[in-house]
Amino acid sequence: MKETSYAFDLLQKGKRADDREFEDFRKLELQTGIINTAEGSARVKLGDTEIIAGVKMNVGTPFPDTPNEGILIVNAEFTPLASPDFESGPPSEDAVECARVVDRGIRESHCIEMEKLAIDPEKVWAVFVDIHIINHGGNLIDAAAIAAVAALHNAQIPKYDGEKITRGEYQAKLPVVHKPVTVTVCKLGEKLFVDPTLEEEQIVDSKLSIAFREDDYICALQKQSAGSINFEEIKKFIEVAEKKSKDLRKKIWE
Amino acid sequence: MGGKKSDIELLKGGKRTDKRKPEDLREIKMEANVVPNADGSARVQFGNTIALAAVYGPRALFPRFMQEADTGILRTRYNMAPFSVVDRKAPGTDRRSTEISKVTRLALSPSVLLDDFPKATVDVYMEVIQADGSTRVTALNAASIALASAGIPMRGLVAACSCGKIEDTLIVDLNGLEDNFGNADMAVAMLPDKDEISLLQMDGLLTKEEFFKLLNMAKEKCLQIVEQQKSVLKKLYKVDKEMTE
Amino acid sequence: MEKEVVLPGELLGERKGRKLGQGVYLENDKIFSKILGMPRISDVEVIVLPLTGKYIPRFGDRVVGTIKEVEISGWLVDINSPYVAFLPLSEGVEEFVDTQRSDLSRYFDVGDTIFCKISRVTKQKVTQVSMRDMIARKLYGGVVIKVTPTKIPRIIGKAGSMINMIKQQTKCEIFTGQNGFIWIRGENKTKAIEAILMIERESHTSGLTERIEKMLGGK
């Protein structure tokens, strides 16, 4: 019930349950290289939200439309371990959406130099980014995007002799050159805020995810709520997202 | 699993690939309540194998035809993350994980007491996030801690250990290489307080004598593992005690 | 905390004709704990009080519930449990109601909060609640928070001492359900909620009453 929700009550008064300002993120913890079976990995904790992203690489055939480029595949698993609301079975709408939003942030920012992943006319590297939710404490997309990009920055290309991949041995770092950051901005009543907790997320009127590159290019946008967003409001959303993406980028890479 | 030919020497001068003696467990780490959303949860690490388990319930069970009028039911799901293995695993359920989900449920069933929860379900979700052999037993050890920390009534904790054979040497707690290239492997779970075995699976070739020897080795290790499970659970409420000064 | 916690499967002693309370089971005439909890062992009875776990309805409990569905002859009530409770029309409203003509949402609608009593629980946990109780009522406005049901006794305190202190200090109206739902209304509800959540977190510590008093006083 929206009206009896404590988060709703507080937000109306300009407060949040954990005493944060409206434009504050929860405590962000990032570790990379945490999975030794993966070519690159990262764990992100954002308040109660915890996500692990793993990068695996295989040799594959290029897509016909991009014969000289590597392949990127982003997948998200909302495992039932992470929330009472997640169920086993094929990926839910939310999981597919999360994967696609993160994918676009990476792909559209040209974060990976895909042309460097061509091996020969028939073979290219395929980069798999798997996002695994460990605990759903709200704002999965932002946390997943951080985890995915951090895992890519952490990734190395395995040794390959033209026939066989030698796992555990690497030839080079994965060529990752940009630092896209996604920020989801929420609106309740007249107020905009970021990094919603699970409880806050359930009562927002509208929600917009925006990915920024370090040179201030927007590389992805996704409206995620049933509620609409006004024209004028969009500007405010973007402003908040840009500011917060810079803060986050500093936290992640400095 | 077992029996594949390999040019790797699994035993060299009585030492295993990770320098262990045949009867040594890897370093074990356990932690309870690692998934705040869950009613109970745990993370267990055996060497490089890491499994998480979360328990949700008792909670209402739908569709209704699945309900049992006089008891709650236990459901389990075992899953491996795509990045948990060296060659990426396709996400989702496959034949192997379907089987392990079933056998782990059967391993926990003798312990859980669900009479007080008619028509409800207790769900146990196990996720292997990094695999280096013995994943199902690692996941089971986590599940047992998670169930207890969720306050689910149980006859006793469940502890599990793998064991196997390299050439003629019997070993416990197989790593990934030993799992793939050893001559036999076996998964054992038990209620150490009750001296009952709740999971037993083996593939490979073993003599009867070897089998019993292995089972005893596994039991001895389960007794050791359950002590660590108990101390992790008791520690959950000891922290509070220290706060009182 | 004078006694260690016990774990499922832990031996608590021989039966010796004693009564089996909650949280224990009998095997080969020996008594074992079946849960993670605090043992209470006497010559008469052996009990283990749970430290965690879901709310399972018991006869006579007073609970805070929210209306989930309005049916023809009563209401389905969410009582923070695997089991949904039923509030029959006759237990919910005093006056005569012609169910042919009137919609029961006039009395309690979806989303309404009530304070009620568990009036029946069958073996299969078919659960009925009633408003026919001195203290039962519909709760208007306010917010509902959720705490671990096993911590409710600590939040209430001995003979209501803890909750009364919070009510007095914050001037809030508070209804504490044994099911873990707590309803709060008043200007200072943020303070009251902070106090309740602090008790939930630190329920096993001593000197808690003093700390809560200090926290409420130190506004």
On whether residue A161 sits in a domain, the answer given is yes
| Residue A10 contacts C where some CB pair is shorter than 8 Å | yes
Question: What is the model's pLDDT at position B16?
Answer: 95
Express as a percent the part of chain C with pLDDT over 90.
85
Residue C204 clears pLDDT 80, i.e. is over it: no
Query: 3-state SS of B63-80?
Result: CHHHCECCECEEEEEEEE
Query: Which residues from C are below 8 Å from A when comparing CB atoms?
Result: 66, 111, 113, 142-145, 189-190, 193
Chain A residues touching residue C190 (CB < 8 angstroms): 10, 15
C88-107 pLDDT tens trace: 999 999 888 888 888 999 99
Chain B residues touching residue C51 (CB < 8 angstroms): 151, 237
Q: How far apart are CA B45 and CA C128, in angstroms?
A: 45
Q: What is the mean pLDDT of chain C?
A: 93
Most confidently modeled of A231-240, B231-240, C74-83? Answer: C74-83
Evaluate whether C36 touches C50 at the Cβ level (below 8 Å).
Answer: yes
For strand C137-139 and strand C113-121, is the pairing parallel, antiparallel, or unpaired? antiparallel
Evaluate whether B150 touches B60 at the Cβ level (below 8 Å).
Answer: no
**Residue carrying structure tokens 């979700």:** B125
Residue A32 clears pLDDT 90, i.e. is over it: yes
Q: How far apart are CA B56 and CA B74, in angstroms?
A: 10
Our count of domains for chain A comes to 1
Residue span of the structural domain in which A220 resides: 6-253
> ipTM for the complex?
0.91
For chain C, the domains span 11-50, 62-139, 143-217
Question: What is the model's pLDDT at position B8?
Answer: 76
On whether residue A1 sits in a domain, the answer given is no
Q: How far apart are CA A100 and CA A119, in angstroms?
A: 26
On whether residue A156 sits in a domain, the answer given is yes
Give C51 to chain A, closest Cα distance, Å.
Answer: 21
Q: From 3.40.30, 2.30.30, 2.60.40, 2.40.50, which CATH number describes the C11-50 domain? A: 2.40.50
State pTM to two decimals. 0.87
* Ramachandran sector of residue C60 (left: φ over 0; alpha: ψ -120 to 50; beta: rest): left
Residue span of the structural domain in which B212 resides: 18-236
Confidence of residue C3 (pLDDT cuts 50, 70, 90): low
Our count of domains for chain B comes to 1
Question: Average pLDDT in the B40-56 region?
Answer: 98
For residue B89, which of B56, B135, B123 has the smallest C-alpha distance?
A: B135
Question: What is the model's pLDDT at position B204?
Answer: 83
Question: Average pLDDT in the C111-129 region?
Answer: 97
Q: How far apart are CA B240 and CA B187, in angstroms?
A: 36
Min mean pLDDT across A53-67, B229-243, C60-74 is at B229-243
Q: What is the CATH number of the domain that holds A209?
A: 3.30.230.70
Q: What are residue A109's phi and psi, to 5 degrees?
A: -80, -5
Question: Average pLDDT in the C68-73 region?
Answer: 94
On whether residue B46 sits in a domain, the answer given is yes
Question: What is the model's pLDDT at position A82?
Answer: 96
On whether residue B4 sits in a domain, the answer given is no
C139-192 pLDDT tens trace: 999 999 999 999 999 999 999 999 999 999 999 999 999 999 999 999 999 999
On whether residue B53 sits in a domain, the answer given is yes
Same fold flag, C11-50 and C143-217? no
Question: What is the model's pLDDT at position B3?
Answer: 44
Half-sphere exposure of A96 (CA within 13 A, CB side): 5
Q: From 3.40.720.10, 2.40.50.140, 3.50.50.60, 2.40.30.40, which CATH number describes the C62-139 domain? A: 2.40.50.140
Question: What is the model's pLDDT at position B243?
Answer: 41
CA-nearest residue to A16 within chain C is C190
Which two structure tokens, joined as six digits, stand for B164? 């196997």
Mention every residue, 6+ apart, whose C-beta is less than 8 A from residue C1: B237, B240, B241, B244, C38, C204, C206
Residue A40 clears pLDDT 50, i.e. is over it: yes
Query: Which residues from B are below 8 Å from C when comparing CB atoms?
Result: 39-40, 57-60, 69-70, 111, 113, 116-120, 148-157, 191, 193-194, 230, 233-234, 237, 240-241, 243-244
Residue C219 clears pLDDT 50, i.e. is over it: no
First to last CA, chain C: 30
Give C186 to chain A, closest Cα distance, Å.
Answer: 12
* Ramachandran sector of residue C213 (left: φ over 0; alpha: ψ -120 to 50; beta: rest): alpha
Q: How far apart are CA B221 and CA B171, in angstroms?
A: 11
E-only strand ranges, B47-183: 49-60, 73-80, 120-130, 159-166, 169-172
Residue B220 clears pLDDT 90, i.e. is over it: yes
Q: What is the CATH number of the domain that holds B53?
A: 3.30.230.70
Question: Average pLDDT in the A13-28 region?
Answer: 92
Instruction: Tell me which amino acid residue B136 is.
Output: R
CATH for the stretch C143-217: 3.30.1370.10
Higher pLDDT, C100 or C48: C48
Mention every residue, 6+ apart, whose C-beta is less than 8 A from residue A68: A62, A115, A118, A124
On whether residue B34 sits in a domain, the answer given is yes
Which two structure tokens, joined as six digits, stand for C108? 């309690």
Indicate the residue of B116, B150, B194 with minimum beta-carbon distance to C56: B116
E-only strand ranges, chain B: 11-12, 15-16, 28-32, 40-46, 49-60, 73-80, 120-130, 159-166, 169-172, 184-191, 196-204
Question: Average pLDDT in the A55-80 region?
Answer: 94
Confidence of residue B245 (pLDDT cuts 50, 70, 90): very low
On whether residue B110 sits in a domain, the answer given is yes
Determine which of C113, C139, C190 to mutate to test the interface with A (most A C-beta atoms within 10 Å).
C190
Evaluate whether B172 touches B185 at the Cβ level (below 8 Å).
Answer: no
Chain B residues touching residue C1 (CB < 8 angstroms): 237, 240-241, 244
